[in-house]
Amino acid sequence: MRLYAAAVYLFLYGPIALIVLFSFNAGRHAASFECCATSWYSLTFNNTFLIEALLNSLLIAGTTAVLATIMGTMASLALQRVKGVLRLVFDALTYIAIIIPGIVIGIATLVALVTVFDILNPLIAKLWPSDGNAMALGLGYGSVIAAHTLFTMALVIIIVRARIQGMDRSLIEASADLYATPWATFRQVTFPQIFPAVMSGFLLSFTFSFDDFIIAFFVAGPKTTLPIYVFASIRRGITPETNVIATTVLAVSLTLLITAQFLLRSRAPKAGGKG
């Protein structure tokens, strides 16, 4: 069994380790390794098109993470008071947003946005007429952020709700007994207890949005994110630059995921601890 487990892990993580190793390639071809140099790192990060795509991804991921965290936390707190069939409906909708493949979300979002744009753009042109430069809605930052917020918010809801269910409710009841307002109770009692889960949801939302290719490919319009840039680069041929990008994204993603896991465990209630 140990040998079998080792083979499985080798199969899963061996190719990733090779990508990291080949990012230090001294040659010009990605398929042949010549040890060792960091020259491709300097060439990669001096690529203006890459930097533009990276900034686009950071902007989209950061905005998505903020929106998903705020709305997901609010939804988690509200769902705690929902009972019965309505609770089951909201739970199903939350899990469906995660289970649905990204290609379905991308296509559905694209169709919905194009339909809305076709309805609103003529109205905008009538309300604000101009000389050939009429303001019009289109695909871009907003469409990608909206699509990413849709499914990352579901992640935040699940994480924060799990934290709320394990929260010490006696502190909230004590706060109400001491005549604290609902806002004061949330700010001084509830939020400090759920903060690790909120921060974990933020980091996971950022990571999923930053790494996403499928949904962004459908709704990004003229904007290029880092995964889209990598896909376009691979179609022209794989170079050590591609390995450098993959290694950098891997390092950032692992850092955020490890941080999120640490925050989830940092204030987890101890088994058998006193309330």
Check if the beta carbon of residue 59 is closer than 8 Å to that of residue 216: no
Distance CA 262, CA 144 (A): 29
Please calculate the CA angle 240-245-248 and round it to the nearest 5 degrees.
Answer: 125
pLDDT value at residue 273: 43
Helix (H, G, I), strand (E, B) or coil at 26: coil
Instruction: Quote the tokens at residue 201.
Output: 């949801």
**Whole-number Å distance between alpha carbons of 7 and 10:** 5
In our burial notation (b when 16+ CB lie closer than 10 A, e otherwise), range 50-86 reads: beebbebbbebbbbbbebbbeebbebbbebeeeeeee
For the chain, 275 residues long, give each residue's pLDDT as a single digit of tens: 788 888 888 888 888 888 888 778 776 766 676 777 777 888 888 888 888 888 899 899 999 999 999 999 998 888 887 788 888 888 888 888 888 888 888 888 889 988 988 888 888 777 776 665 667 778 888 889 988 998 899 999 998 888 888 777 777 778 877 777 878 888 888 888 888 888 888 988 988 898 888 899 998 888 888 888 888 877 776 777 778 888 887 887 788 778 777 766 765 555 444 43
Listed by start position, the domains of the chain span: 48-266
Could you give the dihedral angle defined by the CA atoms of residues 257, 261, 263 and 266, in that order, rounded to the nearest 10 degrees?
-160
Amino acid 59: pLDDT: 92
What tokens does 121 get? 């753009």
Count of beta carbons in the 10 Å neighbourhood of residue 99: 11
Distance CA 239, CA 248 (A): 15
Domain at 48-266: CATH code: 1.10.3720.10
Indicate the burial class of 129 (C-beta count within 10 angstroms; 0-12, 13-18, 19 or more). Answer: exposed
> CA 215 to CA 103: how far, in whole Å?
6
Residue 264, pLDDT score: 64
d(CA 265, CA 258): 11
> What contacts 176, CB < 8 A, 6 or more positions away?
185
What is the reported pLDDT for 275? 39
How many CB atoms within 10 Å of residue 141?
14
